Structure 1
Amino acid sequence: MMLMVSAPSAQAQQVTLSEIIIEGAKRISPSTVQSYMPIQVGDEISPSDLNRVISSLFATDLFHDVKVRLDGDQLIITVDENPIINRINIEGNKVLKDQQLLDILNIKPRRVFTREIALEGKAILMEAYRQNGRYAAKIEPKIIELPDKRIDLIFEVNEGPLIKISKIKFIGNQEFSDRALRNVVVSRERKWYIFLTSNDKYDPARLALDEQSLRQFYLQNGYADFSILRSSGELLPDRQGFVLTFHVDEGKQYTVSDIVINSEIETVNNDILLAESTLNIGDVYDVRYMDDTLTRITDKLGEYGFAFVNVEPDFELDQDNATLALTINVGRAERNFVEEIRIVANDRTLDRVIRRRFELVEGDSFNQLKLTNSIRNIRNLGYFANVTSRVLPGSSGDQSIIEVEVEEKSTGNFTLGFGYSSVDDGSVQIGISESNFLGTGRGLRANVSVSGSKSNFRAGITEPYLFDRNLSGSIDIFRDEESFSDVTLEKQGFDTSIGFSAQNDYSHRFGYLLAETQTTSKSTRASSTSGDEGAQLVSEVSYALQQDKRDNRFDPRSGYYWRVSNSAAGIGGDVRFLKTTLRSQYFMPFNFKRFVIGVGGEVGIVDGLGENVSRSNRFVIGGRKIRGFARDGIGPRDTGDDSVVGGNKYYAGTVNIISSYGFNPDLGVRWTVYYDFGSLWGTDYPTGVTGADDNDLRASFGYGFFWDT
């Protein structure tokens, strides 16, 4: 950059400008140059004004050089324009691709080039490589001059080696070892087996997250006055690694000496709120329990109609005795009413399909428990990938707006499968289903499967809100044919049901099934174990009562479920029996919802009401209820060919732990460890059957993985 000022002698200090002459401008018009100047023709100027002219023209970044001189009353300005960028190119890069770096640079062709642009681009690229652990990267901007004041801007890159974290150190820790604290922070020391994450790369932004993790860890263990004095990341002299250092002051471990509720809401007794505390006097202070207590108190107040409540903790530390007194302050609030329920982002599902799952209606007193149950009901529809809610202020202080945002997901399913096994030979399956047909909530389904030993067909429809009432109905038609050993069983018919939900998550369902079965046997032995010889007409009525308190029907983390069902055949038809089943599940999160333990069990019994129960009406259990066994691998068998006979009584149970611990939650991967057990026994045709009265426990232990995509 150059500038030159030439002015007349001091005895002619003031000159009235008669003309401005622009020289050297090629791409920029003289009038444009003059528009950037602080003086115009007719102005009186002095030598000091010439410096202002130069400064204003350089400030435009359009010129590489500016010369100004006065010739009498004429101002002559000679400019040398900055070049225009023709193209930008990156050379020498491998880890970060060209387009990725160009997007970060945000330098476009036809822009005026300045030295500052090149230096700024270098700094941006250096930061991009630092974020990717390439702290030894070198960037050199270069220009290639082209005709007509154009240039190519080239950034030559030497990416250098990937520099990882060699050591993580802690200074000032007495109660917890360095090893324990290394497991707390997000950053990780370089190890050969760490390749699925980038946490062993130094990132200054992650250092703040490490500090937060350390602070949270100490607060969870009672160190209420813990502090981080300073933290740093230093590059080793050989530039082969980073050392992270955390200087901490652990303070003392505090126990809870007192918990007091200080509430300005007089209509809710403080003892009711205090009962929601998961912190107890004498406990070591844990910030997780405190946060949980604040949430529970807020929700409890929401049940009383207070939608907007400020609940804040206040601490009093006694350092001499290492105790902490907790005061929970509840601010003044008004009881709220629901002014509006707003549904957002339901692009496909009809508004009424969602609204009818609400336990609140507009005009009701606000109730947090009913809102929580409503969101659970919407999730349990199975139509949405995510459901969130928030409560907004209404048109006045006692009004609130409930906004529910849903994320639609695909509810249709098409199945086409082929398989081969030594039992069934080749098999093919075709199925189609839609659980939210045209956004109405109706369910449609049809499935056909054919193999060497069996064929199945089933089709049906479900209406979740029959006659626009709290009444669901469904009907299915089916035809099954199965051959095993010397027996061929054909079954065809329909079943229909109608149900309704009641308060406290109870539901009732009534059903009716009419089926015709035809059994043919090539041997008297086979028919003696099944009891299915010839044609039979089954007319069966059923009733089921259940209560579902699970937080999510498809992915339960807490709550319980139980169902008892009874079915009776004999009102018409050729077959008589009474069948009863009872099943239940219980889910409980622990370690602050990192893990979920699930316990389940079921029992079943069928009685012929004075007649023998045939094979087609007995229970068959195996791999679906007790993992690790074949589909029908448990219970009495035919002594001739070891085929399944079924049983009149069974029990089954499971204990499992489910968690995503160890995986990034965004991956949707969870693991489970389980123990399944059960037994099946009892048959009215004991001849030719082994294990007819064997109710010994059968069990399996295993693990598995789930991946939600």
Structure 2
Amino acid sequence: MGLFNVTRTSRVSRYNGLYMSSALRVCMVAPIAVMTLGSPGPAQAQNYSFSNFRVEGNERIQTSTILTYAGIEPGSSVSAGQLNDAYRRVIDSGIFETVEFVPQGGTLLIRVEEYPTINRISFEGNRRLKDDDLAELVTSDERRVFDPAQAEADATIIAEAYSQSGRIGAVVTPRIIRRSDNRVDLVYEISEGTTTEIERVSFVGNRAFSDRRLRGVLETKQANILRTFLRGDTLVQDRIEFDQQLLRDFYLSRGYVDFQVLSSNVEFSRQRDAFFLVMNVQEGQQFRFGNISTVSEMPGVDAAAYQRALKVKPGVVYSPQVIESSIARQERLAVQSGVDFLRVEPRITRNDADQTLDVEFALVRGPRVFVERIDIEGNTTTLDRVIRQRFRVVEGDPFNPREVREAAERIRALGFFAEAEVNTREGTAPDQVIVDVDVEEQPTGQLSLGGSYSVNTGVGVAIGLSENNFLGRGQRLALDISTATEAQRYSFGFSEPYLLGRELRYDFDIAYAETDSSFVPYDTEALYFSTGLTFPISDNGRLNVSYSYDDSEMIARDPPDNGPVIGREIAQGSRTSSAVGLTYSYDTRRTGLNPNAGVLFEIGSEFAGLGGDNSYVKTTTTTIAQTRVLSEEVVLQAAFEGGALTWNSGEASRSLDRFILGPRVFRGFEPAGIGPRDQSANPDGGTYDDALGGNFYAVARFEAQFPLGLPEEIGLRGALFYDVGNLWNLSNADTAGANIVGEGGSFRHVIGFSFLWDTAIGPLRFDFTEAIVKEEFDKDQFFNFTLSAQF
């Protein structure tokens, strides 16, 4: 009988030597499979009939399984074509490396060679990505049957992982090493190549904003001198798509409603070692709000009341966020007024002539749909109630799609979950909705090591241990230890953000601190405890009610080097204060109508005398305003701080109780560099120079930050600033017989220049100052340098 040979090359060898789009080159070769069906020529047309079947070479796969794949019935007449189909079925099972059909009269011999078992999977040549990280990517498993297609797919995935880290030239070659007992070692040989960085990011078509400003919006960064630490300068396609959305959001929030990203082009440099990213944009015209009105299409609902709830005014730059916040305000008013199923539809009319958008908020009746239930999945540690607290609706409440979207954002903002998806589906009836919450938890504990340096306090080390989701309850525990050359602090804190299931934050803090500052002639020890509640009273307003207790002492140095006033204060020994505090804060920096401007206002008072040794009223206030100008290139800041202390105790007040200013509050002077001082004569014939603090202070700071014309990826900016301030008054201090200067106070004036540098190890600030108006006894400071880093 003649031979008819059919050959089949395995899937691995088909890719041998081919260069794939993912930079994968596969070079494994499998043996050739042969089917013998008889002689060529007329023999091909004959029929076969097999009464017996014999299978050889199978070790793991049962004979009956192979015959089932073949599908030939004993004694039936089989043509050559049908026999070929049977052969293909066995081959396509993907179980065998080679298959051979050999007709022997009434017997069909089927010889097979099974794919080997994977003995071990390993990686060679990888340095950028560790073995454990790569092992999580591959789908091939040890002690499972080797599949060439699966090995190829795994190599592609590994190559893509390297591409995501900027090494698009990485080559991954899967190879097999044969072992005994039909086993193989699967080895992924990796040539990582070099990192291909983005050398330049530029824009075409932008007129309102410079390339520098737009680059600051993107997640993708240009290569810079800190490329070892910065991973945003590599080419990642998904990141570029995300950057396009960031640009759209940026322009839309600034009134450019027609903005488009026309294209994003990536080109190799001439040396093919870097990329150039060019984004072609079309800005369009900037629109502002025109006429703002509210109409009611629901019987009994007064549109005027809902119009008064709006904060947006005509002439303000248009922003979708303003529309969203306005709708949320009106829908919240509806809930408070007991109006169910009210929906607000914004109807926008475009006026191209004057580049305004008229907005009509229509109060309409939404569908009568209720929340049937809220299903939560994926939370193995976090309690259901922690997630439910982020919803302002419960089962049985009217369904509001906007509230569900806002709840989803609040859940993501917790920081407890790597992924958090909130979706809705129809419930058991058409008027019922089920809200599905699917989360993927992530570690919430944190161990931080930090370092700091200041001209005033020297080198410092900080160690922090915190858990933001304690026992899955959403509570925060924090233990911090910070040591500097002249100050040490140890603290423990606990926070419950939703006390009694309400938006009521409870805080508890206890701390112990020691100082041995060179700027005052005494050391201090203090034990501090505080507890308080914080709750919202408006969209941007918060009120804090607190109680605090502290035990503090001024300690003389050996040998003493202080004047009579400080000496009498040290002699008072340890003193305690028991105080109730009330603080109001108003912050629009994140939720205001202008994305480039914001205001923080805070005022608080402490009332001491409910027990303890001291009795006083201490009030402080802070106002900070910021805005961007000149195409958002320049940041303008203004800050005002002030404080007043009214002392009511029988004992005299201490320097430790009064206000003492440092460079954080008033630049250009050392800590305790301004204010009243005791310059009484000392036994050596000279004079003391003890800073005593003051009962009142007022400081205003003005600053303009601007680019220096350097590549922005360096992160270096400049700033000019002007500070003016005063610290005065020593009423209720024991100053008898002392030579006190500066008690009446005077306003000092300081100008300065700063370098601001955002680095991978933390923000650096270099301040160069000149006190243009000061007192002769003040301690000014020409240079100040600070560094704070977490690593």
Aligned counterparts, 1:664-679, within 5 A: 675=723, 677-679=725-727
Alpha carbons of structure 1 residues 167 and 566: separation in structure 2 relative to 1, 3 Å: closer
In the alignment, what sits opposite 2:744? 694
Structure 1 contact 277–293 (Cα < 8 Å) conserved: no
Q: Distance in 1 between matches of 2:397 and 2:59?
A: 75
- Structure 2 equivalent of residue 563 of structure 1: 604
- Superposition pairs of residues 573-652 of structure 1, within 5 angstroms: 580-586=617-623, 599-604=639-644, 606=646, 619-623=658-662, 626=666, 629-630=670-671, 634-640=675-681, 641-642=687-688, 644=690, 646=692, 649-652=695-698
Distance 1:63 1:431, change over 3 A: closer
Give 1:52's match in structure 2, choosing from 64, 82, 85.
Answer: 85
Equivalent in the alignment of 2:477: 411
In structure 2, the residue matched to 1:125 is 158
Identity in percent: 23
- Residue by residue, what CA displacement relative to the aligned partner does 1:586-626 show, whole Å, maximum 9, x if unpaired? 455756999996745334355789x9957579735233865
> Counterpart in 2 of 1:526?
564
Helix, strand or coil: the match of 1:105?
coil
Count of residues paired in the alignment: 634
Query: Which residue is equivalent to 2:556?
Result: 483
Structure 2 CA distance, aligned partners of 1:217 and 1:533?
A: 57
Q: Which moved more, 1:531-540 or 1:624-633?
A: 531-540
Q: Are residues 282 and 247 of structure 1, via their aligned partners in 2, closer, same or farther at CA, if it must alter by over 3 Å? A: same
Shift of 1:679: 1.0
- What's the offset of the Cα at 1:564? 4.4
Distance apart, 1:4 and its partner CA: 1.9
* Separation (CA, whole Å) in 2 of partners of 1:42 and 1:658: 96
| Deviations, residues 46-82 of structure 1 (Å, cap 9, x unaligned) | 4333233222211221212222244444332122323
Whether the 8 Å contact between 1:531 and 1:685 is mirrored in structure 2 is: no
Q: Relative to structure 1, is the Cα distance of residues 685 and 309 closer, same or farther in structure 2, using a 3 angstrom cutoff?
A: same
On the 8 A contact 2:639/2:700 being kept in 1, the answer is yes
Q: CA deviation at 1:204?
A: 1.7
Q: Name the CA distance, whole Å, in 1 between partners of 2:45 and 2:232.
A: 72
Q: Distance in 1 between matches of 2:700 and 2:95?
A: 77
- Residues 33 and 167 (structure 1 numbering): CA distance in 2 closer, same or farther, change over 3 Å? same
The one-letter code sitting in structure 2 at the alignment partner of 1:482 is: I
User: Do the aligned partners of residues 311 and 129 (structure 1) sit closer, same or farther apart at CA in structure 2, a change above 3 Å counting?
Assistant: farther
How far apart in 1 are the matches of 2:525 and 2:102? 99
Provide, for residues 414-446 of structure 1, a one-character-per-residue CA deviation record: whole Å limited to 9, x for no partner.
6586x776xxxxx9x685645469x99795747
Q: Cα gap change, 1:459/1:605 in structure 2, threshold over 3 Å: closer, same or farther?
A: closer
Question: C-alpha distance in 1, partners of 2:665/2:244?
Answer: 47
Q: 2-side partners of 1:389 and 1:32: how far apart?
A: 45
What is aligned with 1:197?
230
State how far apart, in whole Å, the 1-side matches of 2:704 and 2:469 are: 25
Aligned to 1:301: 331
Amino acid at match of 1:622: L
The structure-2 alpha-carbon separation of the partners of 1:111 and 1:309, relative to structure 1 and needing over 3 Å to count, comes to farther
Determine the C-alpha separation between the residues in 2 that align with 1:315 and 1:240. Answer: 49
Gaps of 5+ in 2: 1-7, 9-32, 408-413, 440-467, 501-505, 535-543, 590-597, 682-686, 708-718, 755-764, 766-785
* In structure 1, distance between residues paired with 2:263 and 2:307: 38
Amino acid at match of 1:637: D
Shift of 1:629: 3.5
Does the 8 Å CA contact 1:3/1:54 hold for their aligned counterparts?
Answer: no
Question: Could you state the TM-score of these two structures normalised by the residue count of structure 1?
Answer: 0.66
* Matched residue SS, 1:4: strand
Tell me the residue number matched to 2:55.
Answer: 22
Find 1:4's aligned residue among 18, 35, 45: 35
Corresponding letter in the other structure for 2:604: R
Contact 1:143–1:154 (8 Å) recurs in 2: yes
Partner residue of 1:34?
67
Structure 1 stretch 328-337 or stretch 238-247: which is displaced more?
328-337
Question: 1:85 maps to which residue?
Answer: 118
The structure-2 alpha-carbon separation of the partners of 1:121 and 1:69, relative to structure 1 and needing over 3 Å to count, comes to same
The equivalent residue for 1:517 is none
Amino acid corresponding to residue 688 of structure 2 in structure 1: D
Is the CA contact 1:255–1:282 (under 8 Å) kept in the aligned structure 2? Answer: yes
CA distance in 2, matches of 1:402, 1:55: 47
Return closer, same or farther for 1:392/1:676 CA change in 2, 3 Å cut-off: farther
Query: Residues 264 and 279 of structure 2 are in contact (CA less than 8 Å); yes or no, is this contact kept in structure 1?
Result: yes
* CA 1:274–1:64: 2 relative to 1, 3 Å: same
Deviation per CA, 1:148-203: give whole Å up to 9, x if none: 33333333333333222345465566776766655554434445565542333222
Q: Deviation of residue 131 (structure 1)? A: 1.8
**1:436-515 maps to which residues of 2 (within 5 A)?**
443=508, 445=510, 447=512, 454=523, 456=525, 458=527, 478=551, 480=553, 482-483=555-556
Task: Provide the residue aligned with 1:104 in structure 2.
Answer: 137
The 1:532–1:212 alpha-carbon spacing in structure 2 relative to 1, beyond 3 Å, is closer
Candidates 237, 243, 246, aligned match of 1:213: 246
**Preserved CA contact (<8 Å) 2:492 2:509:** yes
**What letter corresponds to residue 747 of structure 2 in structure 1?**
L
Distance 1:301 1:642 in 2: 66
Q: 1:310 to 1:163 in 2, by over 3 A?
A: farther
Aligned partners of 1:432 and 1:445 also within 8 Å: yes
Q: In the TM superposition, what are the counterparts of 1:231-380 in structure 2 within 5 Å? A: 231-235=264-268, 238-254=271-287, 256=289, 258-259=291-292, 261=294, 264-265=297-298, 268-274=301-307, 281=314, 286=318, 289-305=319-335, 311=344, 313=346, 315-317=348-350, 324-328=357-361, 331-333=364-366
1:22 offset after TM fit, Å?
0.8
Equivalent residues of 2:647, 2:653 under 8 A apart: no
Does the residue aligned with 1:104 lie in a helix, a strand or coil? coil
- 1:25 match: secondary structure: coil
In 2 relative to 1, CA 209–645 (structure 1 residues): closer, same or farther, beyond 3 Å?
closer
For residue 458 of structure 1, report the CA deviation from its aligned partner. Answer: 4.2
- 3-state SS in 1 of match to 2:137: helix
CA 156–304 in structure 1, closer or farther in 2 if over 3 Å, else same: same
Tell me, in whole angstroms, the C-alpha distance in 2 between the residues paired with 1:430 and 1:175.
48
TM-score by length of 2: 0.61
Cα gap change, 1:311/1:69 in structure 2, threshold over 3 Å: closer, same or farther? farther
Alpha-carbon RMSD: 6.3
| Unaligned ranges ≥5, structure 1 | 375-383, 422-426, 466-470, 489-520, 662-670
How far apart, CA to CA, are the structure 1 residues paired with 2:300 and 2:236? 52
| Residues 59/263 of structure 1: CA separation in 2 closer, same or farther (3 Å cut) | farther
Deviation at 1:691, TM superposition (A): 0.8
